[in-house]
Chain A
Amino acid sequence: MPINVKAAGLSVTIQDLGRPGYYHLGIPMGGAMDRLALRAANLLVGNDEGAAALEAVFVGPELEFTEDALVAVTGAELPPKLDGEPMATWTTLKVKAGQVLSFDYLRSGARAYIAVSGGIDTPPMLGSRSTYAIGALGGVDGRAVQPGDVLPLGQPGKAVTEGTTIPAELRRMPGNPVELRVLPGLYWHRLTDAAGKRFFAETWKVASEADRMGYRFQGGTPIEFVEREQPFGAGSDPSNITDSCYPYGSIQIPGGTEPIILHRDAVSGGGFFTIGAVISADMDLIGQLQPHTPTRFIKVNMHTALSARRDRADLLEQIRAPFA
């Protein structure tokens, strides 16, 4: 039975674990920015971890339920309310038919995940329900959720006891100060030694242009480039390269001024040099950063990147264990 959308906040989109396999055509994998939070929300309502849920940026929606359901809100600290009564985040909530789920103001983080038993059952496109608005794929008619939308739900999965919660120590959120680990590579050699050192030494701030495609950072010193004659086809700016693919998490610095980290809805390629990539273990964290958040980039090697990846996998196993 469906959910009626009464209000849709700033940007509420349907997201699952995305549609890998089409990046070579410029269609990014997409899906939840904070994958761990999505998985946790789904576990709390008895769904497959990759079921489609709502990703709400800064402001929660207002949802009217037409049938009893389990609901869980994870990720950003965006406290839910049932018929106006404050409820807990990261916890299995029971919602009765006719009740309205709304949200208090954002306490921390940037993206909350709202999972409902059965999962959001809009039509999958290219194997995913994730909203990719630029390509009009997934979601509701290829767009974000709007007031008046009716969201279909799938068949509920496993029963989960009301009040089940993910322990606080397993809720991964960015630290204070925020640190994102970066493996240098790609076109790192375009930077002078001094510029490379400064990139890691300085504190950057999340810019207002921060969305599912990419997060822009400001406040550091403009980059100096190693001088060269630009290769044919690259374009005249020293930050230009012959258009190539962009890894997810890669950091480009157009014009040498403001770094941009490409995220789940990345453009698949383009003509700007990249200096390396945020390690896979830290991608979830980026989706929880608010504009103006001071951020440090930490230089790591492959060994550290892979061990951080194992730590994240271990954390997911700990989250899963009680639901097995």
Chain B
Amino acid sequence: MTTRYTHGGDEHIFVEIDEAMSLEAFFKSLSITNAVREADIKGMTEICPANASYQIKFNPDIIHPDDLMAELKRLEQTADVSDAVLNTRIIEVPVYYQDPWTHETLMRFRERHQDPTGTDLDYSARINGYDSVDDFIKAHSGAPWFVSMVGFVSGLPFLYQMVEREKQIQVPKYLRPRTDTPKLTVGYGGSFSCIYSVRGAGGYQMFGITPMPIFDPEQKISYLKDFMVFFKPGDIVKWKPISREEYDRDVAAVEAGTFEPRIREVMFSLEDFNKDIAGTNAKLEEALYAN
């Protein structure tokens, strides 16, 4: 892991912790951005953490870009990157895989896909060595996922699969991005799953749809009353495959204002996770389903 500092025009500094994605890179970035936030450097206006990098926006009338970069490098040296422990939450997100809406959309944009004859799930299952779509869905929904970035548009979470690297699902993005993606599509690109918070353009493969809104600018949805964006980096997600009936029931509950996502507070230690991935995940799941 080599940290790389570069300018993004005269108003941004971009810091790449690692070219490759790993939870180690995420946690290193997290501790550095925490140190940067605490340092409260004059002229700095925004800190945007990403999967394995972060970005600072600043006012160069107040601090010279080179001075800010020197300060960020200094903070990297002093940030405590040893303590990769997070008090966070695990959330159950219901997913209706192979739903009719993403299916209609993926058929509409078939000529932009690597495999125009199949579906996104057929293709993703095949290139990841799964015998069937059902097995692939089992793998996607089996282990928990780590929210390593929020962004693109309106609170969209990027989720990283919490399994050994050799077991991680990897799929390319569409050959050319679609101009349409249904709202709340569960997608996949590179080594990241995502939930499209709003309808719009997108290049990730489409696997299913969740009934659970994650962005509400009107802040009417019960669990989005305090803030319109649901996810934050460090959240852990467990997908729960649901049927059409369960999907319809959840959508009705959301509309009635009675849908409450299952959320439990948990502690996550990267060291413990790396020592025993299956055991850590089992404990997380236990915490999620304990009452």
Contact = CB atoms under 8 A, between A and B. Distances in A.
A305 B177 CA distance: 33
Nearest to A241: B19
A242 B51 contact: yes
Contacts of A142: 217
Interface string A237-273: 1001111110111100011000000000001111100
Interface stretch (A72-80, A274-282, A288-296): A274-282
Contacts of B288: none
A237 B190 CA distance: 10
Contacts of B152: 26, 243, 267-270
28 contacts: A24-B150, A27-B154, A134-B153, A183-B9, A185-B14, A231-B18, A232-B21, A232-B22, A234-B20, A235-B190, A237-B172, A242-B18, A242-B21, A244-B52, A247-B12, A249-B9, A250-B12, A267-B151, A271-B173, A277-B8, A279-B10, A280-B60, A302-B10, A302-B65, A302-B66, A305-B10, A306-B10, A306-B60
Contacts of B144: none
Given A232-B191, A233-B20, A280-B9, A267 B46 contact: no
Contacts of B236: none
Contacts, number: 185
Contacts of B11: 247-249, 280
B16 interface: yes
A271 B22 CA distance: 15
Interface stretch (B74-82, B93-101, B192-200, B249-257): B192-200
A91 B192 CA distance: 52
Q: Which of B11, B47, B172, B189 has the most CB of A within 10 A?
A: B11
A233 B9 contact: no
A231 B19 contact: yes
B190 A242 contact: yes
B282 interface: no
A66 B266 CA distance: 58
A136 interface: yes
Interface string A285-324: 0000000000000000010011001000100000000000
A185 B20 contact: no
Interface string B159-203: 010000100000011001100000000000111100001101000
A125 interface: yes
A285 B60 CA distance: 20
Given A185-B6, A243-B192, A27 B172 contact: no
A267 B158 CA distance: 14
A27 B19 CA distance: 25
Contacts of A243: 50-51, 149, 152, 158, 189-190, 192
Nearest to A310: B61
Given A25-B150, A125-B217, A247-B11, A232 B155 contact: no
B190 A234 contact: yes
Given A183-B10, A185-B6, A185-B14, A245 B198 contact: no
B172 A134 contact: no
A243 B19 CA distance: 10
B124 interface: no
Interface of A: 20-21, 23-27, 125, 134-137, 142, 183, 185-186, 188, 231-237, 240-245, 247-250, 254-255, 267-271, 274, 276-280, 302, 305-306, 309, 313
Given A236-B172, A280-B11, A302-B65, A24 B49 contact: yes
Nearest to A268: B151
B138 interface: no
Given A20-B45, A186-B14, A247 B8 contact: yes
A26 B154 contact: yes
B9 A23 contact: no
A245 B153 contact: no
Interface of B: 6-12, 14, 16, 18-22, 45-55, 57, 60-61, 64-66, 149-156, 158, 160, 165, 172-173, 176-177, 189-192, 197-198, 200, 215, 217-218, 229
The 7 closest A-B pairs by CB, nearest first: A233-B21, A277-B9, A247-B8, A245-B55, A231-B20, A247-B12, A268-B151
Contact of B200 (A20, A134, A248): A134
Contacts of B61: 309, 313
A135 B46 contact: no
Nearest to B197: A26
Contacts of A280: 9-11, 60
A240 B155 contact: no
Contacts of A254: 177
Contacts of A247: 8-9, 11-12, 14, 55, 57
B10 A134 contact: no
A140 B156 CA distance: 24
Given A135-B198, A185-B7, A302-B7, A26 B173 contact: no
Contact of B151 (A26, A232, A236): A26
A295 B2 CA distance: 36
B150 to A, nearest CB: 5
Contacts of B9: 183, 185, 247-250, 276-280, 305
B190 A250 contact: no
Nearest to B231: A25
A306 B52 CA distance: 29
Contacts of A240: 173, 190
Nearest to B192: A243
A37 B190 CA distance: 41
